[in-house]
Amino acid sequence: MPGKAKGNGSGQKQSFQYDAVIIGTGPGGEGAAMQLAKAGKRVAVIERHDSVGGGCTHWGTIPSKALRHSVSRLIEYNTNPLFNAGDQAIHLTFQDILRHAGAVIRKQSRLRGSFYARNDVQVIQGEASFIDNHHISITRKDGSVDQLNTAQVMIATGSRPYTPSDIDFSHPRIYNSDSILSLKKDPKSIIIYGAGVIGSEYASIFRGMGVKVDLVNMRDRLLSFLDTEISDALSYHLWNNGVVIRHNEEYDSVEGRDDAVVLNLKSGKKMRADCLLFANGRTGNTDMLNLSAVGLKSDSRGQLKVDENYKTEADNIYAVGDVIGYPSLASAAYNQGRFAAQAMLSGHCPASLVEDIPAGIYTIPEISSVGKNEQELTAQKIPYEVGRAQFMHLARAQIANTQVGSLKILFHRETKKILGIHCFGERASEIVHIGQAIMQQEGNANTIEYFVNTTFNYPTMAEAYRVAAINGLNRIF
């Protein structure tokens, strides 16, 4: 990636302030900035907000998972007879648990900021928009406008909640998944419209705080991309804890009143609650970039098309993260940023995302999976078998009183190769990575027999792999 390039058609070489400018400081932007800076390039990042970290750190992944952790520990305390033998349950307000989330956000933002400083990456605060392929305008909060030029650009602006125009999100009782973090008063009831990952996570959080929750789902079951048994387990657990789930429903209108919110459904039903959380989809943050100036156009969801090297239709402009769609995960975005930076340096990506990307869903309890599910294997006519371990039978789960959940291993009947790992229960997002590591081994090292022949610490949750492996192999005849 040169610092100079032919750019004015007169035979003169254009000099650039930067080798690369990255718009956005979320995981994708950070991964790219670090990779380019360590290669000795002059790099700047543009961030529209006061501190780095992007939506992942400030409104999405970090705060929601910190909220979830606090509520989970609250539930654990209130249900464990060791701590609460018949006494009155402890109650925390939403603001109480937000304080913990706020502390985590500040720590993460300071840490991320130190990475840029340590690697001599200039952080520029302001709203970025294209002038042309090599020039970017930056509008600062005080209204002043700066301009910089660069050889290459990476768009890593992330996404924001989808907010349909017929719903008044300025109403104090109507929230999206970003603005819910500004909730001041504890509601006694909440309607959550959208039962995807975000909606399901917040349904767990609010129900864990004792809030009456109505969860409205546009589909016929929760999280339909999951293995059916895992999806059913989540549905049962939410139902068993008092969440009312309404499937196959769509909103007709939302009425924000002084004392409540009323949700009118197309089926004719009416729902009323103290507030509403609209959590149905996200939109890429590309509308403020003036993409037309560089010949680019986003789709209806604000997303850009890229090739295998994360390059857009403009030769010197790349994009990663939520703005390019699937898988829209913070973990994947960081790797996308690193891979795209390598393409900016050498012209091609020497690596790509793993084929089986793990999914972590931070409901209470957690869900995590990697690889194929039973529906996919059945449709592909792959002869598979199932090994299961119930957490209630594990000594570590009994000690920790985290007995809800199970581990499920799918494997080929003949080769014993592991095809999928599905986990429901406390620490599922950690447990799944043991199976993922074995799945990605070469040759005969990726079979279920590994879990039978190895030795696990005892007592541990990891021991579930040995139990599930033996259970599955016993089904083979």
Considering the four listed CATH numbers 3.40.640.10, 3.40.50.850, 3.50.50.60, 3.40.30.10, the one that applies to the domain covering 174-280 is 3.50.50.60
Residue 3 has pLDDT above 80, yes or no: no
> What is the reported pTM?
0.92
Domain ranges of the chain: 4-161+283-346, 174-280, 365-473
HEC states along 222-265? Answer: CCCCCCHHHHHHHHHHHHHCCCEEECCCCEEEEEECCCCEEEEE
Q: How confident is the model at residue 1 (pLDDT cuts 50, 70, 90)?
A: very low
Strand runs (DSSP E) across 13-90, as ranges? 13-15, 18-23, 43-47
Binding site per annotation, positions: 47-56, 65, 157-159, 194-201, 281, 322
Residue 4 has pLDDT above 60, yes or no: no
Residue 467's closest CA among 455, 454, 451? 451
Binding site per annotation, positions for FAD: 47-56, 65, 157-159, 322
Instruction: Compute the distance between CA of residue 392 and CA of residue 192 in angstroms, rounded to an integer.
Output: 31
pLDDT digits (tens, 9 = 90+) for 132-146: 999 999 999 999 999
CATH topology for 365-473 is Enolase-like; domain 1 (3.30.390)
Evaluate whether 320 touches 199 at the Cβ level (below 8 Å).
no
Q: Which of 324-333, 369-378, 462-471 bottoms out in mean pLDDT, i.e. has the lowest?
A: 324-333
Using a pLDDT cut of 70, give the percent of the chain over it.
Answer: 96
Residue 361 has pLDDT above 50, yes or no: yes
3-state secondary structure of 109: helix
pLDDT number for residue 12: 46
Question: What is residue 447's DSSP assignment?
Answer: B
Instruction: Compute the distance between CA of residue 476 and CA of residue 303 in angstroms, rounded to an integer.
Output: 46
Domain 4-161+283-346 part of CATH 3.50.50.60:
yes
Binding site per annotation, positions for NAD(+): 194-201, 281
Fold: same for 174-280 and 365-473: no
Q: What mean pLDDT comes out for the span 22-44? A: 97
pLDDT digits (tens, 9 = 90+) for 230-245: 999 999 999 999 999 9
Residue 318 has pLDDT above 90, yes or no: yes
Return the amino acid letter for 399: I
Q: Tell me which H or E stretch contains 107.
A: helix 94-118
